[in-house]
Amino acid sequence: MSVDFKISKSIFLQISDNICNQILEGTLKSGERVPSIRDLAADFEVNSNTVLRAYTILSDVGVIENKRGIGFFVTEDAKQNILERNKAEFFKTDLPEFINKIQLLKLNKADLKDLSDIVESLN
């Protein structure tokens, strides 16, 4: 695997996002072991400390947990945990900022047709 990291965001955050997304998508399931720090560092071609940092953060927020000497495992409530955090962040920050931009830029309905269509197609 060769991964391109964005320059605008810390690598360790991109790694933790990557793990979270795999959990949300179902690629990684509760109880499953995530790759060892060394393996993931090799895959991503980064320093193992960088992966460790990502894993430490995910541990702190209860998405993965360490079984000593064995590795890190996805927690039971990882998925829900991630969704809750991300939703809270979305409604607190992303949505207001987005609405603010719409109004500041004086966009019109036509500009946002794609968005409307997508929202309309939701449950």
Partner DNA sequence: GTGGTCTAGACCACA
Partner DNA sequence: GTGGTCTAGACCACG
Window 33-72: contact mask with DNA (x via CB under 7 A):
---xxxx-----xxxxxx-xx-xx--x------x-xxxxx
Kind of pairing between the strands at 64-67 and 71-74: antiparallel
| Binding site partner of 2, from its own copies, DNA, none, Cβ cut-off 5-8 A by kind | none
Q: Measured between alpha carbons, how far is 35 from 23 in angstroms, rounded to an integer?
A: 13
At 1, is the secondary structure helix, strand, or coil?
Answer: coil
| Binding site partner of 116, from its own copies, DNA, none, Cβ cut-off 5-8 A by kind | its own copies
- How do the residues of the chain divide into helix, strand and coil, expressed in percent and rounded to 5? 60, 5, 30
Residues at the contact surface with its own copies, assessed by CB under 8 A? 7, 11, 21, 24-25, 47, 66, 68-69, 83, 86-87, 90-91, 94-95, 98-99, 101-109, 111-112, 114-116, 118-120, 122-123
